[in-house]
Amino acid sequence: MKQSKFEFEYEVYDDISQLSKEDADLLIRARGATANAYAPYSKFNVGAAALLVNGEYIAGTNQENASYPVGICAERVLLGSAATLYPDIPLIAMAISFNTAKEKSNHPISPCGMCRQSLLEYETRFKKPIRVIMGGMEGKIHIVQSSRLLLPFAFTSDELI
């Protein structure tokens, strides 16, 4: 038997003041988007904002449903909107934030497994990494240089050949 290890590096910032202007602006947009989330059941509002290669910004929010499997996460709302409004334009970066009355929004959250798979598909489609900026309404922020890093052993189109 041989053992292997999966490791990756990511950036950790104490707060938004340490980010570049571009990254801070994107996180501010994601934080603002949380106000538009439809989360009457969980009360866990998630906002995502992305910068596209053409300089445009797009946002998405989680949209819950009384039939829980029918809801959709902010990241996938954003990706669907981007693919519809700008079908040939890749994303440079996506910021994700959350707001809830249940706990302090002072730490990063990461995309769920389904969103990680969707982000990876989007990266693969455009052959361009998507930087992922993760933070709450305040506090520490994590940045990964590619969404691919969030999904080791990913299922990709290579498996379908």
Backbone angles phi, psi at 98, to 5 degrees: -145, 160
CA distances from 33 to 29, 56, 63, 76 (A): 6, 16, 12, 14
Of 34, 111, 47, 99, nearest to 74 (Cα)?
47
DSSP code, position 129: -
| Two tokens, residue 20 | 């570049």
CA distances from 69 to 6, 63, 64, 113 (A): 31, 11, 9, 14
Report, as residue numbers or ranges, the catalytic residues: 75
